[in-house]
Amino acid sequence: QQQVKQSPQSLIVQKGGISIINCAYENTAFDYFPWYQQFPGKGPALLIAIRPDVSEKKEGRFTISFNKSAKQFSLHIMDSQPGDSATYFCAASMDYNQGGKLIFGQGTELSVKP
Amino acid sequence: DAGVTQSPTHLIKTRGQQVTLRCSPKSGHDTVSWYQQALGQGPQFIFQYYEEEERQRGNFPDRFSGHQFPNYSSELNVNALLLGDSALYLCASSPRQGRIQYFGAGTRLSVL
């Protein structure tokens, strides 16, 4: 019930294409859903985050779509660039009084080909 | 403004040894969380410190312990190291009740 399931495990996209990564969760107490980007040898960096009262959030080329009834959310990277090649993690957390710890998905290794 | 800093960057230990990892949170942050990231996996929550106390703990044995100092910096200690403890150890900081956690670059621990 504490798990976040992420797919696909790896993704290859051509430059200019759309990258789509999906996540699903079970615990309806989760109320904060961030996406992190991690380059080799670096720590995860926050990319974009959403709360369940919003169905979509867009920041530049990155968009989160959220489906509360299906308990699923996804990251779309528009006009993917080789510099976007990294590992992406979705995560979920409950409010601080219920824990606040981040539960991460398994990660998606994205490769954008020039 | 320095972000989250961790030391050392890399560490090699042998089975049975003990290790201490250090973390300085981002300026203005008072809550520190530690995560273990095995190769090819997502980070897994170890524990969180606030006001120098362990506030919550993940599913890790007592060999993993920590400390937070008055200046909000933190240490992660692992006793009786096992081969399976080899991983990237990440520190994240946040303001009290803040939802955004900022991560350091991590300490790569190799247990031989």
Q: CA B80, CA A34: separation in Å to the nearest integer?
A: 34
Looking at the predicted structure, is the pLDDT value of residue A86 above 90?
yes
Q: Quick check: A71 pLDDT over 80?
A: yes
- Measured in angstroms, the CA of A53 and the nearest CA of chain B are apart by 16
CB contact under 8 A, B48 and A89: no
Question: For B1-59, what is each residue's pLDDT tens digit?
Answer: 679 999 999 999 999 999 999 999 999 999 999 999 999 999 999 999 998 999 889 99
Q: What is the DSSP letter of A33?
A: E
Any chain A CB within 8 A of the CB of B93? no
Instruction: Note the pLDDT tens digit of each residue in A42-62.
Output: 999 999 999 989 999 999 999
Q: Return the pLDDT at A96.
A: 66
Angle, CA A46 vertex, CA A41 and CA A49 arms, to 5°: 150
Q: Look up residue A40 and give its two tokens.
A: 């080799």
Whether A16 and A47 have beta carbons less than 8 Å apart is answered as no
Give dist(CA A23, CA B39) in Å, integer.
20
Instruction: Report the residue from A89, A100, A101 with minimal CB separation from B42.
Output: A89
Q: Which pLDDT belongs to residue A98? A: 60
Chosen from A30, A95, A102, A103 to mutate, greatest number of chain B CBs within 10 A = A102
Per-residue pLDDT, averaged over B85-105, amounts to 91
Q: Does the beta-carbon distance from A41 to B105 stay under 8 Å?
A: yes
The percentage of chain A sitting over the pLDDT mark of 90, rounded to a whole number, equals 85
Nearest-CA distance A23 → chain B (Å):
13
pLDDT band at A38 (very low <50, low <70, confident <90, very high): very high
Contacts of B105 in chain A (CB under 8 A): 41-43
* Distance between first and last Cα of chain A: 40
Token pair in block for residue B77: 């200690």
